[in-house]
Each structure stands twice: as structure tokens, then as C-alpha cells.
Amino acid sequence: MENSTYTYNKLCNIMEKSYDVIVIGGGIAGSAAAIASAMAGVNTLIIERNSCLGGLASGGQVTPMMHNGIDGRPGRSYINEIIKKKMALEGYGADDHYGNDGWFNTEMIKYTLEEILSDYKGEILYNTELLDTVVENNKIKGVIVHNKSGLSLIRGRVFIDSTGDADAAFASGVTCFKGDELLHNNQAMSLRFMVGNIDIMKLKAFLKEIGEPDILEYPLVEIASVWEATTPLNKVFQRALKDRVIEYPDGKYFQAFSVPGMPGVMSFNCPEIPGIYDTLDTSAVSRGLTIGRKMIKRLYGFLKAYIPGFEKSCIISSAELPGIRESRRIRGKYILSEKDFSERAKFEDGVARTAYPIDIHGLIDEKKLGIKLMERGEYFEIPYRCMVTDSIENLLVAGRCISSTFIAQSSVRIQPTCSALGEAAGVAAAYCVRNKEKANELDGKIVRDIMSEQLKEVSC
């Protein structure tokens, strides 16, 4: 492989630092990776371009975590269990009667992730952008980053790409896929927002009055509607559409959840923004953000006028990060596919499990794929080989950008699974540092065994 554009000669005057493990990207996957690595006692740095950890969970306001569909210990991540337990203990997390204990406060998860990582002496470099990687002889020697301090070369022994977009892998020459296999279009992006000062009891009474099922106990509440449904709430949307208060795209996908530790606040998993097919095109995403905010204003006007409980409400925030569901995916040693989903595949080096359905927004009708949904107790596994490549020996990739097909990625992209993949990457990185092994030659069964032992501890 050719050396990076940046050579050591060009960097002779640039500030240098060195770590055992460097994690690029501080979302749920990256945070779990850094915590797992630091917990194992190796010198760990996480590089994050924003000013907090959590990624879409915090800056994107993506709450609650979707349940991975597996009951009990086998489908859970040790690190994710620690995060959820800490948040619940402090009043910023909750579980519902369907077994989803992933309800969390999007603001407080920033604090939780920082506190846990700090407890294990992990370091964080915020407001820092990855520019390039320095590659020699199929090995990353360091990363070139930029922030207000200028350019820095940060050396490392093992690197974890948890950028969500496979930025470090791509910069290192790793072959990547993008979007669907036919047109290379990406899933639809969303822009979440939060509304405060809602009279939740009045809202719940209204939902009950119009015949919407109310299955969650106060203060938890969820509301949802799509045009294809024939629900009572959908009829309210139809009326607002007829009155020209909203436009058709505004009601294509509507969903909102209450937030633990934020009385009277709901987080909206919408609007879903039409017409953005390339989530790596900054101009297209910028246009999508502008469209999204216009849609949010219309939706908020609808809520105040048509939904009791919102009369005195206010928009308290719109997400800093757009809701990107997928962009690049690496070509790893194994490419996870919808065949693995259909066959409920198990692997000797399986490091994560999920039963979450195929969930594609905006491009494909999942029902037409003919893929059978998981029944209770069924799941499939993600092998360690999806996180490493033949081309770079000391690189691990975690999160939504692992090696998979477009369709399979839609099942593994949710936060609990990304957390488990991040944990696996952190465990593997620390093991490789201590034992001087190459990440892309490590037997994934070792990682699986370590994760299983750790999970027993938190489950006791």
C-alpha cells in the first residue's frame, strides 16, 4: 500500500503524541470501545469532532435505544449494561413493560459516558477533526488531526474507526461500499427535535379518547403515525393535511417518545427528510438540514393546534447532528448479508447478537424482500471478521460502518448492537496491545470469550 499523502518529513514540525489505542469517533460505538480499552488498562485516547461523547445518542437526540429483540443476557453488551444501569440509578434512564430498558436522557448521557471513561483514565480530545492517516507497510502509524491548536500527528499501536462513515478506514485505503448495491443511494436521513412544557397527562387522555392504545405507564409515552396506517392518530394527521397545516412528507414518518429525567419533554424521531440520497455529500446534507427545520416548524404548529397537551409547549432544541442511518461500509474479511439474517447465522467468532428487523428508511419496502421476521428466541450473530480488513493490520472498525450488505446493515445499525461492536473492538485492541498481535489476525473467539466473562460480572 502507498504511504499517506502526509509523510513524516512533512510532519517534522507538527506536535506529536502517542497512545496504545486510539479511537476515532465518540458515538455509542466509539465510547464503548474506548471504555473497554481503558478498562483493560491500556493507554487510550478518543478523538471526537464534536464537543461531547454520544454521537447520535446525544447530539442527534436519538432516544430511546431500540431494543435488539433478544431477551436476557446473551444479546447484551457489558459496557451498555454499565451505561444503562448508571443512568437509571441517577434518574436518567428507564425501562418499559415491553422489556426495553434503553430509555435514556439525551443530555445526561454526555455526562455518563465521560464519567465512566474518566473512571478508567481514558483521555478525550474534543473539537478535533481527522484529516488523514499515516500508513506504512499495511499498518497505520498515526493519524493527522486538526483543531484550534493546529495540526497534530498522534501515533498509536491500534486504531479503532467508529466514525460511522468509516472515515479512518477510507483514508487508509480500505475498500468501502456506499449505499444500496444498485444505485448506491443511502437511507433517508432525519432531523430530531425536542418539545418541552407538554401536559403529558392531557396528551395521554386525548390518545385514549380517540382510541389510540396506551400501553406505557406514566411518565413514559410514545406516539407514532404513518400515512399507510389506519390508526385514530393518523386521521388527525389527515385532517391537518387537508387543512394545509402540514405537507405530505411531514406525516410520512412520525414518532415521539418521552424522556427520562425531563418532565413534560418529548423527543421526536422525525421528520424524515425526502430527496437526500447521498449522506456523504455535505451540500446535500446541508440542504436536508434546512428542509428538516422547515418541516419541524410545520409539525410543531400541527402539534399545538391539533394535539391536546401541546397548547403551551415550546421547541427546546433541534438536534445538532442529522440522523444519518448509513453511509460507507468497509469491505472486511467477512461481509454480513441478509442471508445471515434469514438463516439466523451463528459464528465461532460472533461478538454481537441481534434480532432487530430489517429496517430500511426511504428506499426499499422491507415487506417485499420476503425476509422472515425473527420469532421470540431467534437471533443472528455478527462475526469479529466484519470489523477487520485484509489491508490494514492494526485497524478495527465498529458501529454502523462494519462490513455488511446494505440490507443487513439496516438490522445491525441500532445503538445496543453498535455498543456491543464497540466493546468488541476495545477488547480486541487492548488484547492486541498486551500480546503484540495483529488485530486482523486475532482469533475472534478470544474476544467473544472475554466479552462473555465480563457480562457474567455485570449480570450477577
Q: Is beta strand 150-161 parallel, antiparallel or unpaired with respect to 395-397?
A: parallel
Report the alpha-carbon distance of residue 428 to residue 416 in Å, rounded.
Answer: 18
Report the alpha-carbon distance of residue 292 to residue 309 in Å, rounded.
Answer: 24
Q: What is the pLDDT of residue 341?
A: 96
Report whether pLDDT(12) > 50. Answer: no
Complete domains list, the chain, with CATH? 15-182+326-459 (3.50.50.60), 189-318 (no CATH)
Report whether pLDDT(1) > 50. Answer: no
Report the alpha-carbon distance of residue 116 to residue 426 in Å, rounded.
Answer: 14
- For the stretch 104-163, pLDDT in tens is 999 999 999 999 999 999 999 999 999 999 999 999 999 999 999 999 999 999 999 999
**Residue 156 host element (H or E):** strand 150-161
Q: What is the pLDDT of residue 371?
A: 87
Coil, strand, or helix at residue 421? Answer: helix
Region for 341 from its dihedrals, namely left if φ exceeds 0, alpha if ψ lies in -120 to 50, beta otherwise: alpha
Q: What is the pLDDT of residue 362?
A: 72
Report the alpha-carbon distance of residue 79 to residue 94 in Å, rounded.
Answer: 17
Report whether pLDDT(422) > 60. Answer: yes
- For the stretch 297-353, pLDDT in tens is 999 999 999 999 999 999 999 999 999 999 999 999 999 999 999 999 999 999 999
Which residues lie closer than 8 Å to 436 by C-beta, 6 or more apart?
none
Report whether pLDDT(255) > 60. Answer: yes
Q: What is the mean pLDDT of residues 259-283?
A: 97
Share of the chain above pLDDT 70, in %: 94
Structure confidence at residue 449 as a pLDDT band (50, 70, 90): very high
DSSP-derived secondary structure letter, 67? P
Choose the weakest-confidence range: 13-17, 76-80, 417-421: 13-17
CA-angle at 14, arms to 12 and 17, nearest 5°: 105
Share of the chain above pLDDT 90, in %: 85
Report the alpha-carbon distance of residue 198 to residue 213 in Å, rounded.
Answer: 19
Q: What is the pLDDT of residue 365?
A: 64
- For the stretch 49-84, pLDDT in tens is 999 999 999 999 999 999 888 876 556 789 999 999
Beta bridge partners of 196: 314
User: Is the distance from CB of 178 to CB of 167 less than 8 angstroms?
Assistant: no
Residue 222 phi, psi dihedral angles, 5° rounding: -135, 135
Report whether pLDDT(7) > 70. Answer: no
Q: What is the mean pLDDT of residues 229-239?
A: 95
Q: What is the pLDDT of residue 364?
A: 65
Coil, strand, or helix at residue 43? Answer: coil
- For the stretch 359-394, pLDDT in tens is 998 766 656 677 888 998 999 999 999 999 999 999
Q: What is the mean pLDDT of residues 200-204?
A: 96
Structure confidence at residue 99 as a pLDDT band (50, 70, 90): confident
